[in-house]
Amino acid sequence: MTDAVGAVGAGRDPEAVSAFVEHFAAQLVEAGMTRMPSRVFAALLASDTGTLTSAELGEQLRISPAAVSGAVRYLSQVHMVSREREPGSRRERYRVHSDQWYEALTSRNAIIKRWEDALREGVTSLGADTPAGRRLAETLDFFEFIERDVAEMMERWRAYRDEKYAR
């Protein structure tokens, strides 16, 4: 028998699991993620297998298939979950990976690069000596600074993770 989080015989209190999912989802919402993707992500994170079907997510979270679909679409776009086809079935399972935070941050690097390009154009267009141009230049410097530190931090994380989790 499968419990509320897709784990067989885990012996967990479904109410406690649900409370965790809702609490963590609320933290994600507070940080800027929309509500439904936050709830779906938290439910996947709390499942022993790291995978759930649309039906399992809908049942656990008491949401419609359309709500699951929209949440998973968003989470896939930001590289926080992936879709997998069940062997011999048309059903899809949604998976959260152990390195989802790493992947999400790494994918942000491409976005930051585009922002930097746009900011450089803005500085040129507005003039580096204007108040707006200086503001854009400072914003550009901030992103370039953060980008360097994030790249170094991600390298340190990979080494730490590999050592701690014997990968």
Q: pLDDT digits over 120-155, tens only?
A: 999 999 999 999 999 999 999 999 998 888 888 888
- What is the reported pLDDT for 19? 96
Q: In whole angstroms, how far apart are CA 40 and each of 29, 70, 129, 132?
A: 12, 10, 47, 41
| 13-23 pLDDT, tens digit each | 999 999 999 99
| 55-99 pLDDT, tens digit each | 999 999 999 999 999 999 999 988 889 999 878 888 889 999 777
User: 5 pLDDT exceeds 60?
Assistant: no
- What is the reported pLDDT for 116? 95
User: 6 pLDDT exceeds 60?
Assistant: no
Contact 103, 80 (CB under 8 A): yes
pTM, two decimal places: 0.74
C-alpha to C-alpha distance for 6 and 18, rounded to whole angstroms: 13
